[in-house]
Structure 1
Amino acid sequence: MTLAAWMDSINQLIAAHAGEPWVLVALAALCTIDGFFPPVPSESLVVGLAAVGRPPWWLLVPVATLGAILGDNIAFLIGRRLGHTRLFTGGRRRIRTVTWARRQLRRRGPLCILVARYIPGGRVIVNAIAGATGFSYRVFLAVDVIAGILWSGYSVAIGTGAASIIGDNHMLAMVLGIVLAVAIGAVLDQILRRLMPVHADAEGDAAPKSQGVDEKDAHMHVG
């Protein structure tokens, strides 16, 4: 079998199964799990399906949005259940990251939650810390709904754009869309680090203090 014939068979296989009802169920489940377990590539799946064009975007966006919101809320509830004491244990790098997330939530909570949705590991940490530090759930939910809608729309737009460049080659469109999504995610990660530097927030934190949250943070409520 030639390369062209092999790619054509792959494209036919993708096109034949992308529109199956179980795909939307799997998408919702993966987007939910990704909200508290970042290794699950939900964004890649959304981008890939959008590149194929099936299911249609008007189904992809609400399903991906619902899954993303559910996953983020699970991370928030896990953080609230565990509390800051358990989250502030571990290696030095983890302590610094958690300390950074806590301070950013205190200073610019809604923006931090909104931007972190585009960074797989970042959103889990931020959402869990929001729950652990008593961040207002009403504010969190409102911002998270907006973040979920924007994230799913952004992912679908990348996949659709890739398909418009590649054409009917579904496999190449999926690969291009996923590469673009990863690249944009890396850029957003760098922007977030510059706007909200970790080192600046970690300075002055003594080791004992890093193991917990001060009284003010422990009772933080926004709105």
Structure 2
Amino acid sequence: MDIVNAFLLTAAASPWMLLVMFAVAVIDAVFPPIPSETILVAAAAALAASAAGGVIPLLCLAAAAGAVLGDNLAYGLGRALGTRRFGWMRQPRVVAALDRAQQALTERGAALIIGARYIPAGRVAVNMAAGALRYRWRTFLPVSVVAGVSWAAYGAGIGVLAGSWVAQQPLVASVIGVALAITIGVTVDQLAAVRRRRARARAAEQAAAAAQTRRVELVPEHC
């Protein structure tokens, strides 16, 4: 155990870890299976559980910089592909989804982009959609900076919290930190799913009420 703890501490405090964190955050913004959150939380937890906590701000900076660059790469990729490049993009369901995305970006673009940063697949979809739908890059860039910085602080904060619980045990702190991050992520996903179901149910009720109103208006009045 002591050997593993020493290895984790050495790896987390190494300058190479900062480069790895930056690169992983960039790639994860375009290719979600790369676990940038896991690496960030585990590294921050290992550092917080040791005497090397001073490296955490640099870790946050590397993660935030990589996230911002990656999100803007996804935006650029979406802008290059557009919304009509491939046949499947012109299917009715896809067109309808893009229309909804465009409306959401118009009405609450900043909140949508920042919120999506915390969802691996969601951030790729939203950022690419923003590019494809020609969301203004001058607006997207500062919002992506806020999203990247807040995301990095969130991940490091979870790691620091876990590290403070089990001082001098980087391995245990990393495991606890990752488990805590996963738990929070699953909880947020479930809450978001509940909100989506409720929104769909309200939309269905409104559509049914509107249809009923139209039917009533079409029925001729009898003297």
Structure 2 counterpart of 1:3: none
Take 1:174 and 1:160, find their aligned partners in 2: how far apart are those partners? 10
Change (3 A) 1:72 1:13: same
Q: For residues 173-212 of structure 1, what are the structure 2 equivalents within 5 Å?
A: 173-195=173-195, 199=200
Structure 1 counterpart of 2:88: 89
Conserved 8 A contact 1:28-1:66 = yes
Q: Output the amino acid matched with 2:143.
A: V
Deviation at 1:33, TM superposition (A): 0.4
Deviation at 1:192, TM superposition (A): 3.6
TM-score (norm 2): 0.78
Q: Output the amino acid matched with 1:12.
A: A
Deviation at 1:22, TM superposition (A): 1.1
Take 1:84 and 1:136, find their aligned partners in 2: how far apart are those partners? 16
Q: How many residues align?
A: 195
Structure 2 counterpart of 1:213: none
Q: For residues 143-222 of structure 1, what are the structure 2 equivalents within 5 Å?
A: 143-195=143-195, 199=200
Change (3 A) 1:136 1:202: farther
More helix by percentage? 2
Take 2:164 and 2:27, find their aligned partners in 1: how far apart are those partners? 30
1:43 corresponds to 2:42: no
> Unpaired runs of 5+ in structure 1?
1-6, 204-223
Q: Map Cα deviations across residues 28-63 of structure 1 (whole Å, 9 max, x no partner).
A: 000000111100001111111101115712201111
Deviation at 1:188, TM superposition (A): 2.4
1:32 corresponds to 2:26: yes
Take 1:173 and 1:122, find their aligned partners in 2: how far apart are those partners? 28
Deviation at 1:10, TM superposition (A): 1.0
Conserved 8 A contact 1:33-1:40 = yes
Deviation at 1:166, TM superposition (A): 1.9
Structure 2 counterpart of 1:137: 137
Take 1:35 and 1:201, find their aligned partners in 2: how far apart are those partners? 33
Take 2:147 and 2:104, find their aligned partners in 1: how far apart are those partners? 17
SS at match of 1:84: coil
Take 1:102 and 1:71, find their aligned partners in 2: how far apart are those partners? 21
Percent identity between the two aligned chains: 39
> Which of these two proteins has the greater Rg computed from alpha carbons?
2
Change (3 A) 1:138 1:192: farther
Take 1:200 and 1:102, find their aligned partners in 2: how far apart are those partners? 21
Deviation at 1:126, TM superposition (A): 0.2
Take 2:73 and 2:202, find their aligned partners in 1: how far apart are those partners? 26
Deviation at 1:12, TM superposition (A): 1.5
Conserved 8 A contact 1:30-1:67 = yes
1:63 corresponds to 2:57: no
Deviation at 1:199, TM superposition (A): 4.2
Q: 1:17 aligns with which of 4, 7, 11?
A: 11
Take 2:201 and 2:104, find their aligned partners in 1: how far apart are those partners? 11
Deviation at 1:14, TM superposition (A): 1.1
Q: Map Cα deviations across residues 123-175 of structure 1 (whole Å, 9 max, x no partner).
A: 00000000000101111111111111110001000000001112221111111
Take 2:146 and 2:25, find their aligned partners in 1: how far apart are those partners? 16
Conserved 8 A contact 1:50-1:57 = yes
SS at match of 1:135: coil
Change (3 A) 1:111 1:175: same
